[in-house]
Amino acid sequence: MKIKLLKLSLLGLFTLTMIFGGLSRQRVLADPDGAPTGRSGAPGETTCAASGCHTSFALNSGTGKVAISGLLANGYSPGQVIAVTVTMTQANIVRWGFELTALDDQGRAAGTLAVTDSVRTRLRTGNFGGGQRQYLTHTQTGNTVSTWTMRWTAPAQSVGKVTFYAAGNAANNNGGDTGDYIYTTSEALLPMSSVAAVAAVSAASYAPTGGVPAQSIAALFGGGMASSTLAASTLPLPTDLGGVKVRVKDALGTERDAPLFFVAAAQINFLVPDATSNGAATLTVLRDGNPVGQGNITVEAVAPGLFAANANGQGVAAVF
């Protein structure tokens, strides 16, 4: 009788072990409920590719990418609320994940992150770099989509440049941590007061008034727009010359990077992008991804001008 009871006890213990052990293992495999804190690739942190979990491929080695959008080209003002979006792309991927944080140049949390879609995103906090940081990441439901939007509120007072760091996981859904690609990116946002004003005119007439048509040459004047003087030497014209870009946002809200002829600290010559709609357009000068100048120009259907032989818009015409 004692032997029989012992056998029954052992059988019951084994059964409970299998049940709870199986449930535990199932939870581990089926609970991708957000990335651990400190995996955004920000200073003082690591990524899931380097922390021993998703290690099949080197960081940023795949064909996909993770991108941050929604940051304003003209910078942030104290207390301003901005919708920030993280998007991942890669072919043949069925599960996705991300983590984002916002820091100042000292590595401190900058502004406040908040959830706007509680079904797909969640907020976590963690201590890194000597202070507490906020992290937006995906939920278990949110790992079936590749785009996530959240809210960022700027600090009550300017803290200088704010950098958003994001890491993304393009996963193959094999129930484990193998075969997944990890990507990182960052985008900087300057205080609005530090984005200098620039003036844009026709490169033919240099007239302070009037507009320019699409596919015409325009000139920007300002300061600190480029770290060196460069002229384009290839066709088609590059849209990035020495880390400098001119982004044109037309009256319909469409943004295009302008082809560049010449860049210098005080002047940039560029081609107004094809298909830019008529009306008021906003120009943003980016240097190494950071906005350093902003101005406006009017795009018109027709705006005749004379290129002067002395290249200053005055004197004998060189080209009509």
Quote the pTM value: 0.55
Structure token pair of residue 115? 């959830």
* Percent composition of the chain: helix, strand, coil (DSSP 3-state, to 5): 10, 40, 50
Q: How confident is the model at residue 94 (pLDDT cuts 50, 70, 90)?
A: confident
Delimiting residues of CATH 2.60.40.4060 domain(s) in the chain: 34-193
CATH architecture of 34-193: Sandwich (2.60)
Question: What is the DSSP annotation of 144-201?
Answer: G-SEEEEEEE--SS--S-EEEEEEEEEE--SSSSSS-EEEEEEEEE-BGGGSEE-EEE
DSSP 61: -
| Assigned CATH for 195-319 | 2.60.40.10
User: Range(s) for CATH 2.60.40.10 in the chain?
Assistant: 195-319
Owner of token pair 């995103």: 121
Residues forming beta bridges with residue 291, ordered by sequence position: 286
* Predicted local confidence at residue 23, as pLDDT: 35
pLDDT score, position 43:
87
Q: What is the pLDDT of residue 19?
A: 36
pLDDT band at 36 (very low <50, low <70, confident <90, very high): confident
Distance between CA atoms of residues 25 and 39, nearest Å? 23
Please tell me the predicted confidence (pLDDT) of residue 189.
Answer: 93
- Model pLDDT, residue 33: 73
Mean of pLDDT over the chain: 82
What is the total residue count of the chain?
A: 320
pLDDT per position as a tens digit, 212-261: 999 999 999 999 999 899 999 999 999 999 999 999 999 888 999 999 99
Start-to-end CA distance of the chain, whole Å, equals 111
Are 73 and 294 a contacting pair, CB within 8 Å? yes
